[in-house]
Amino acid sequence: MRLGVDGTLYLCLGQDHRYEFRELLRSGISDAGLKEAVLEAICLKPERHEIRESREKIVRLMSTTGG
């Protein structure tokens, strides 16, 4: 997982799964609420990369993703 500078948490670098934190942070989410959101995002993370099985390839450079 990688957190981009725009508040997007990329759940898998080989797929387009993501979780947006920007609006939560801008709305003044509490620490407890942020922790809950992080746990929710982790639960959404794909179990496998499935890069070989996927017909659609995601091209995302680590430097543009926050890695």
- What are the distances in angstroms from CA 28 to CA 45, 51, 60? 25, 36, 30
**Quick one: which H or E segment has residue 31?**
helix 31-44
For the question of whether the overall pTM of this predicted structure is more than 0.75, the answer is: no
Predicted local confidence at residue 17, as pLDDT: 82
Write out pLDDT tens, residues 5-60: 889 998 877 677 889 999 999 999 999 999 999 999 999 887 766 555 555 656 66
